[in-house]
Amino acid sequence: MKVGKAPGTPGTGAGTRMVELSREEALTLLAGVDVGRVGFTQQALPAIRPVSHLVHRGAVVIRTHAGSALLRGSPGLEVVAYEADDIDPRTGTGWSVLVTGVATRVTDAGDLARYTRVLLPWADGETAQVVRIVPELVTGYRLEPVRS
């Protein structure tokens, strides 16, 4: 039974180092990918869902389906975490960014129309809920090869 990779094989992170990113660099990298994961509380337990996103004016904007558990039972405010990454499985290099902040429903008709037009849904089906996450904390790391 194979459980994991042997030490030193590609993708294990052997030969890489973590470099902390600035807030600006982290948000720029986040803006360069389309899909990430939103973490929130559902029935007092952590829940994580994949969603599509964009970064606009320093905020992360996501689309979820109309019946999503995100923001259900709250007056439109919830502290969430949002994470995306781009890691090469062969080399173990790439980056990871985590944003923590307050999520609110986007209700402005102009913003809704704009975001719905440019933000593709992660999956087929109704994605009527648009949510804006205003980052309070932004952390990011780049995994780089160790230079000899």
pLDDT in tens, 88-118: 999 999 999 999 999 998 889 999 889 988 8
Predicted pLDDT of residue 111: 92
User: Which ranges of the chain have pLDDT less than 70?
Assistant: 1-14, 65-67, 71-76, 121-128, 148
Predicted pLDDT of residue 6: 41
**pLDDT tens-digit profile of 61-70?**
998 766 677 7
Predicted pLDDT of residue 124: 62
* CATH number for the domain running over 19-139: 2.30.110.10
Domain boundary assignment for the chain? 19-139
Residues counted in the chain: 148
